[in-house]
């Protein structure tokens, strides 16, 4: 199970500046989507969601790392796995990536680079080559920025992009 935190209505009102009815409506909408549960005194939600809702607070790296590693493991296909069993995690993975990729912390950025690679890999297994290229390119961009052009993990992204072009039959592009 993913780590969770309780957010209290008064806390949400204080940080967002919304009035009470706006807060309740927002939290109810999120609850209808299945992202949070209502408790006696507040709402039970994942720490990342709390950080998004209370955007003034940055998530801690260890909490982010746990969340990303959880979804990476759920999206990993491996040699004998069935990629169709993993499809249900793609939208969650993309939503998490979109939130975290805006963070400035170097460690979170690097984690996003690896996570983008995992999203690309699953899309590659599913033969969704345009989506695979999109996330492999995002991974490459992050790794170039954080690790540099000469780092071995950066070269892995170049390789993955080349393999997608090969799968698409675009051999000249794969050799670039």
Per domain, the residue ranges of the chain are: 4-53, 61-175
The whole-angstrom separation of Cα 159 and Cα 154 is 9
Q: Which residue has the tokens 């050799």?
A: 175
Contacts of 96 (CB under 8 A, 6+ apart): 48, 67, 68, 71, 115
CB atoms near residue 137 (< 10 Å):
16
Is the overall model pTM greater than 0.85, yes or no? Answer: no
| CATH 1.25.40.10 for the 61-175 domain, yes or no | yes
Q: Categorize the per-residue pLDDT at 2 as very low, low, confident or very high, splitting at 50, 70 and 90.
A: very low
Task: Please tell me if the domain spanning 4-53 has the same topology as the one spanning 61-175.
Answer: no
- pLDDT tens, residue by residue, 72-123: 888 888 877 888 888 888 888 888 888 788 888 888 899 999 999 999 999 9
The fold adopted by the segment(s) 4-53 is: Arc Repressor Mutant, subunit A (1.10.10)
């Amino acid at each position: 199970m993913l780590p969770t935190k309780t957010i209290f209505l008064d806390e949400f009102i204080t940080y967002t500046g919304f009035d009470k009815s706006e807060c309740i409506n927002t939290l109810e909408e999120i609850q209808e989507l299945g992202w949070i549960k209502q408790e006696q005194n507040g709402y039970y939600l994942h720490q990342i969601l709390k950080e998004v809702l209370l955007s003034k607070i940055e998530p801690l790296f260890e909490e982010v790392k746990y969340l990303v590693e959880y979804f990476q493991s759920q999206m990993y296909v491996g040699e004998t796995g069935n990629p169709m069993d993993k499809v249900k995690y793609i939208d969650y993975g993309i939503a998490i990536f979109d939130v975290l990729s805006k963070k400035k912390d170097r460690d979170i950025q690097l984690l996003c680079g690896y996570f983008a690679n995992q999203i690309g890999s699953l899309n590659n297994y599913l033969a969704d080559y345009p989506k695979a290229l999109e996330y492999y390119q995002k991974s490459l961009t992050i790794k170039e920025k954080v690790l540099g052009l000469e780092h071995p993990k950066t070269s892995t992204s170049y390789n993955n992009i080349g393999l997608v072009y090969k799968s698409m039959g675009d051999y000249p592009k794969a050799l670039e």
